[in-house]
A = this chain, B = another copy of it.
């Protein structure tokens, strides 16, 4: 899938924290850019806005952590920036709370079944 994509010579981890209801679109977008492998974790979090205030049985309470999903994709043949942009475009609604994408360096990888290491293991 990635034969014609320039190879940046490095392994990277792309981590995104997005709205749970954008996961389907993000998975499709990842498959389309040739990076279908991913790991998903249920998380909660908050960004830079002050906590939301609500009412429950007459008591005021603070919703301070919102449910999100974390998506992690380790890539070698596809540039991490391509993957980050694909995720961001698929996850965007334009409203506060859409999430973040972070790119981190990876030193090495092992594919458990085959024992392969390095870029071939990703």
Chain A residues proximal to chain B, CB less than 8 Å: 11-13, 16-18, 27, 36-48, 64-65, 68, 70, 74, 80-81, 84-85, 87-88, 91-113, 115, 121-122
List B contacts of A40 (CB < 8 A). Answer: 43-45, 65
How many of these chains are in the complex?
A: 3
Contact partner of A46 (CB less than 8 A), chosen from B36, B85, B98, B122, is B36
Contact partner of A100 (CB less than 8 A), chosen from B47, B65, B121, is B121
A92 to B17, CA, bound (A): 28
A44 to B36, CA, bound (A): 14
Most interface-central of A42, A80, A103 (chain B CB within 10 A)? A103
Given contacts A40-B44, A43-B39, A92 and B109 within 8 Å (CB-CB): no
